[in-house]
Chains A and B, each alone.
Chain A
Amino acid sequence: MIEGLGRWFDTRLHLAKFARRALNHVFPDHWSFMLGEIALYCFVVLIITGAYMALFFDGSSKQVIYHGSYRALDGVSVSAALQSTIHFSFDIPAGLLIRQMHHWAALIFIGAIVCHLARLFFTATYRRPRELNWMIGLTLLLLALANGYFGYSIVGDLLSGAGLRIGYAILLSVPIIGPGLAFLFFGGVVPTDATLPRLYALHIFVVPALISILLAAHLTIIWRQKHTNYPGPQRTNKSIVGSRVWPSYAAKSTGLFFLVFAAIAALGGLVQIDPIWIYGPYDPAAILPGAQPDWYLGWVEGAMRLFPGVNLHFGRYLVPEVFFPGMLLPLLVFAVLYAYPFVERFLSLDDKPHHVLLLPWQQPFNTAFGCAASMFLLVLFFAGGDDVIAVATGRSVVAIRTILRILVFVAPFVTGVIVYALCLWKQRRHSFTPLPEFSEEPAVMPAGQVQRQELR
């Protein structure tokens, strides 16, 4: 039957050659190549759960009186968005499971992208010819971050209400164009009824469409350029070593898809996330101490807490304090990431194509820089919960903040120095020959490993 079907399509599309090449495509086997796949599969889960939820969601902030099976909110005035979300969670079969899976999938989606990005960075995958896909990947990360924020903002609960106001304040703070930008985006001074439908359209249509298009480009380019190889025997710039897609790799990857699905289902079923019915509707009189954004925005939140109150005045013009940590810092972080392949090439004068990866210790400066930057973001992430840390340790928020303000500069520096030293130590131990991939011969590996190969 499958043969018949194959012939039917081939008669119409001339597919045989393409299909053979696809089935024979060579994939290198290394666990770290799964990180991107996990992100991809999370996106699939997001699309499935999100599409189902969209059939029930009412993205409007007009006030209605809640009546439903969640007794504690019965008779309370809430937004239509919140009403429909609580209705979906409690009165649609498996609704809560699907909603929690959607939120968990979003957290893991971005987590997997960040791990994938770190893997690419610390193995110098971004070098020629992969700069293009590096930049597409970064854009995908940006879109994922934005859509995560839109997603938890449209629900209309207390937490998302605070998030919306902070997002508005950040956009408003941009010099010169800030007010116009904030109005264009949020539809007026927040809170306004214009905001939620707009974010909803972005969340379920515009951004997912952009992600899908870029994802297609991302995968096509990977297909075209083929994967990189970790250094090892027979891995050179002119060859790729791995196993063929059909059948074992395909079976393994499909298995991974189901395992990702299973992990998200387990989290969605067993671990509560974003209990909006406990937060209740947004109400300016209510306060929510210890509130944090989703994890992937924690570093921005932390920067906003650590950054001192510095307003810049230019005559009658003002650059408010939130601009620097809320807008300038994220822009800088992404600017550095986008520019990295080009700066690295400029500094190293290395413009050759590379298909064999460097291990972290083979490129001490890059690794040290990457670790220092990660440590910087990690300290900011913890600063995003400084009030929670203060409660947990029994110290004052002021004390915790002072410590973190020092750490945010000291910790990255110390990390960078230690990592650099470790890389050099490891290099000396392995008498590393730099850049083995340029030889026509198979790459020269550290002595110990080559010997082990021969013994086998």
Chain B
Amino acid sequence: MNEGHKTVPSGLKNEGFGTLLVVIALIASFAAGVGCLFLYWTGGGNMRLGGTLALFFGCLGFALVVWSHQLMEYREVVEPREPLPSPQPERESSEQTFVAGAAEIQRRSLLKWMLAGGGALMAAMFISLMRALGRSPEASLSETFWKRGQRLMTIDGKPLTLASLQPGTSVIVFPENSIGAERAQTVLIRVQQQLIDLPRSRANWAPSGYVAYSRVCTHAGCSVGIFEPETNLLLCPCHQSTFDVLRAATPTGGPADRPLPQLPLYADPDGTLRAGGHFSDQPGPGFWGM
């Protein structure tokens, strides 16, 4: 083998051709750069700006790479590695320096403890600042929105009645005092009354085939946006969980495990739909202590 380094003989390289390539690339780069600036000042479109900018940098990069490969001597060197651990005496001497200093601190043990106390206080102050970043979660997480007697309103603020929907259709509704409140969003669906199969305790929650469920997915909190009237399923577009509308929104497929909270409904004598109480459970994704 050779003695330490290997060079690529310059005869192998085509210097004339290399120089020509570099010159052409640099000229192209310059032209593209001028074009890019011109387009910028004259309000050129995104594609032309991006294209000229890419050409400018691309030709510049190409020129440098060709320059390095064709016009510079490549020399392979073998260099010894210095061992990473410090030599023993050096290590020992710095250890001694540290120990000597530490001993001085050690002697004044009262001061040492007071310093440590100061450090602890500093940490406590820093952590205390975090307090303002988050309120205590409990109250707002367990909100169930709706109150008995609230009317069901569309996003445009129109109240809904027993005559509003045909079987097989749905609409997004909100409590009458908080229209547009995302976590209170509810999907109101009308299905064939004889198909409904709710638990006995909810038997009177669905007047004339109207059922209402929270529209916030119990899996990851997306809006359960799609109602399929043929199968009577609610489908979440995020992770494709499905919920059976006829049977209290029990999950029938996909990753969700908890049913969508149901909203009890009743109708006034004049047909106006009202909430019979709050959601059957807390809406939205699950958490510890739910």
Contact = CB atoms under 8 A, between A and B. Distances in A.
Given A189-B140, A316-B289, A269 B172 contact: no
Interface in B38-90: 40, 43, 46-51, 53-58, 60-65, 67-69, 72-81, 84
B251 A309 contact: yes
Contact of A233 (B1, B79, B222, B251): B1
Contacts of B77: 26, 241-244
A75 B287 CA distance: 39
B22 to A, nearest CB: 11
A184 B134 contact: yes
B49 A291 contact: no
B221 interface: yes
Contacts of B46: 94, 96-97, 100, 269
B289 to A, nearest CB: 6
B226 A265 contact: no
Contacts of A243: 74-77
A320 B289 contact: no
Interface in B260-290: 284-290
B255 A307 contact: yes
Contacts of B74: 243, 248
B85 to A, nearest CB: 9
Contacts of A259: 57-58, 61-62, 65
B182 A191 contact: yes
A247 interface: yes
Contact of B68 (A190, A255, A291, A306): A255
B78 A238 contact: no
B80 A239 contact: yes
A169 B49 contact: no
Contacts, number: 263
Chain A interface extent, by class: 35 or more
Contacts of B65: 251-252, 255-256, 259
Q: Which of B46, B136, B141 has the most chain A CB atoms inside 10 A of its CB?
A: B46
Most chain B C-beta atoms within 10 Å of own C-beta, residue among A187, A242, A322, A442: A322
A414 interface: no
Given A162-B238, A239-B80, A320-B257, A265 B219 contact: no
A68 to B, nearest CB: 16
B185 interface: yes
Nearest to B255: A309
A348 to B, nearest CB: 20
A176 B288 contact: yes
A270 B81 contact: no
Nearest to A181: B134
Interface string A252-270: 1011111111110111111
Given A179-B141, A262-B54, A237 B255 contact: no
A240 interface: yes
A196 interface: no
Interface in A168-216: 168-170, 172-180, 182-185, 187-191, 198
A6 interface: no
A308 B255 contact: yes
B239 A162 contact: no
Nearest to A282: B182
A304 interface: yes
A102 interface: no
B196 to A, nearest CB: 24
B130 interface: yes
A173 B257 CA distance: 13
Nearest to A287: B225
B167 interface: no
A179 B220 contact: no
A255 B64 contact: yes
A318 B78 contact: no
Contacts of B238: 162, 166, 291
A266 B51 CA distance: 6
Given A255-B62, A288-B237, A237 B81 contact: yes
Given A97-B46, A240-B79, A270 B51 contact: yes
B67 A285 contact: no
A166 B222 contact: yes
A261 B77 CA distance: 31
Contacts of B84: 129, 224-225, 353
A311 interface: yes
A78 B250 CA distance: 35
A251 B72 CA distance: 9
B253 interface: yes
B220 A269 contact: no
Nearest to B75: A243
A305 interface: yes
B171 to A, nearest CB: 10
Given A179-B141, A239-B80, A321-B257, A189 B75 contact: no
Interface of A: 26, 29, 93-94, 96-97, 100-101, 129, 162, 165-166, 168-170, 172-180, 182-185, 187-191, 198, 224-226, 233-234, 237-244, 247-249, 251-252, 254-263, 265-270, 284-291, 304-311, 316-322, 325-326, 353, 355, 386-387, 397-398, 401, 442, 453
15 contacts: A26-B79, A169-B284, A177-B288, A188-B134, A241-B76, A241-B78, A247-B72, A269-B48, A304-B219, A309-B257, A310-B257, A317-B288, A320-B287, A320-B290, A326-B220
Interface of B: 1, 40, 43, 46-51, 53-58, 60-65, 67-69, 72-81, 84, 130, 133-138, 140-141, 155, 172, 182-183, 185, 215, 219-223, 225-226, 237-241, 251, 253-258, 284-290
Given A198-B133, A244-B77, A318-B286, 13 more contacts: A93-B40, A165-B222, A176-B288, A179-B289, A238-B81, A239-B80, A251-B64, A285-B225, A289-B237, A305-B239, A316-B289, A318-B288, A387-B240
The 10 residue pairs across chains A and B that have the minimum distance between CB atoms: A269-B50, A320-B286, A255-B64, A258-B61, A309-B257, A287-B225, A262-B58, A183-B134, A169-B285, A259-B61
